[in-house]
Structure 1
Amino acid sequence: MMTTIAARELRSMFLSPLAWGVLAVTQLVLGYLFLAAVDRFHRLQPRLAAMDGGPGVTDIVVNSLFSSAGVVLLLITPLLTMRLISGERAEGTLALLRSAPVSVTRIVLGKYLGVLGFLAIVLAVVLLMPLSLYAGTTLDLGQLAASALGLALMAASFAAAGLFMSSLSSQPTVAAVATFGLLLLLWILEWSGNLGGGLQQAVDYLSLMGHYQDLRQGLVNTADIAYYLLFIATFLVLSIRRLDADRLYG
């Protein structure tokens, strides 16, 4: 039943012009930024060749692309998740879904897997851009894999937070704005300056950007992976608890 809900959610996304528009605009923007990064690398290449241990195509092109992709995902994920639960509530179909012979956990996970399926398509197209360079240059495949892992984990984290925000509201627009606000706050936490002591360490740990930057540099740390997995699990559990409360108290 969970896979059925996921397939239904993914299918409904592709029946919506919003999803196609998001997919087209995302690839257009990232494609332009990718080509701009390639052009910048070609202009810098004579100087880079004279440097001992200077940055290569992976550092300049791939790192720039994945940095931009993170920002784009921050902008589009609230649009993809805003209707997951709030749309059902607004249309009056949530009560019907909850009355089905399926647990709330499976409902939440099914909807989550559905939006992950769409994000996986976005990520696959993003990954094809740097891989297209592999035929004509040397890529650091380890750094590319770490960057792809970081982007996938961050996209999954965005989707989990968006699902929870969608479960709190009956208005998809409110859910989208709330999701964007939460993700933006967690993204810019690192800009808080020097707070000193343990408070600064806590803020740095909560920052989505800090963990993603390490992975983009090719530094695969279990602490960064654990952060994203804990983030995802926390918001999925909160979503389940929210729907459980709806079922119990109407």
Structure 2
Amino acid sequence: MILTIASREFRSLFLSPMAWTILAILQFILAFLFLTQVEAFTTLQPKLASIEGAPGLTDIIVPPLFGNAGIILLLVTPLLTMRLICEERRNKTLSLLLSAPVSNIDIILGKYLGILGLMLLIIALITLMPLSLLFGAELDLGKLFANILGLLLLVNAFAAIGLFMSCIAGHPTVAAMGTFGMLLLLWILDWSVGMNDQRSELFEYLSILRHFQNIQSGLISTVDVSYFLLFTATFIALSIRSLDNDRLQK
């Protein structure tokens, strides 16, 4: 049932022009940024060749590309997730879904995997850009893998928050604004601490940007990976709990 709901959700995303439009705009923007970084490397290459320990092709192109992708997906995810449960509630189809012989876990995981399928498609298209450089250059595949893993964990967390907001909000616009606000807060959480030359271990741990950048650097630690897994599992569990309340009210 989870896969059935997920495939239905994934197909429904492409029935409207939103998914196609987002994919096209994302590819255009990220392709432009990618080519800009390639041009910058070509310009700097003669100078870098004379510097010992200078950053290579992978360092100059891959982390900025995936970092920019993370920022853009922070803006896009609320638009993709805002209708997951809110739209069902507004169209009066949530009652039918809750009365069907499927558990709340099946519904939430199916919705989550459906939106995650679109996210994986986006990541795959992004990954093709640096991989195209293999035709004429060498890449640090380990660092490329670290950036792919970091972005994958990041969008998992983004989708989980968006799903939860869609469960508790009464309108898709409210869900989108709530998702964006929470994601932005987690993204800039430790900025104010850094401005005052102070450190807060709590803010540093809660900062989603810090964990993402740690993985981007190529240092894949269990602390960063477990943070994203725990973060995602927590918001999925909260979404299931919210749907439990809706079922009890029915």
Instruction: Sort the TM-score into its range (normalised by shorter chain).
Output: over 0.9
Aligned residue in 2 for 1:41: 41
Whether 1:231 aligns to 2:224 is: no
The alignment status of 1:50 with 2:70, answered yes or no, reads no
Q: Which runs of 4+ in 1 moved over 3 A?
A: 194-197
User: Equivalent residue for 2:219?
Assistant: 219
TM-score (ref. length: structure 2): 0.97
> Who is 1:193 aligned against?
193
Q: Distance in 1 between matches of 2:98 and 2:140?
A: 48
C-alpha contact 1:87 1:170 (8 A) present in aligned 2? no
2:138 alignment partner, SS class: coil
Task: Write the letter of the residue equivalent to 1:70.
Answer: G
Which residue does the alignment assign to 1:120? 120
For 1:143 and 1:247, locate their aligned partners in 2 and report how far apart those are by CA, in whole Å: 45
8 Å Cα contact 1:83-1:172 kept in structure 2: yes
8 Å CA contact 1:164–1:235 kept in 2: the answer is yes
Q: CA RMSD in A?
A: 1.2
CA-CA distance at 1:196 after TM superposition: 8.4
Distance 1:20 1:241 in 2: 32
What is the count of residue pairs matched by the alignment? 249
How is 1:121-136 mapped onto 2 (pairs within 5 angstroms)? 121-136=121-136
Distance 2:89 2:116 in 1: 21
Q: Determine the C-alpha separation between the residues in 1 that align with 2:117 and 2:86.
A: 20
Structure 1 residue 171, shift from structure 2 partner: 0.7
Q: Return the offset for 1:249.
A: 2.2
Structure 1 residue matching 2:61: 3-state secondary structure: helix
Could you tell me which amino acid in structure 1 is paired with residue 64 of structure 2?
S
- Secondary structure of the structure 2 residue equivalent to 1:55: coil
Identity %: 56
Structure 2 runs not aligned, ≥5 long: none
Aligned equivalents of 1:183, 1:47: Cα separation in 2: 39
Q: After superposition, give the CA deviation of every residue in 1:143-169 in whole Å (9 maximum; x if it has no partner).
A: 000100000000010000000000011
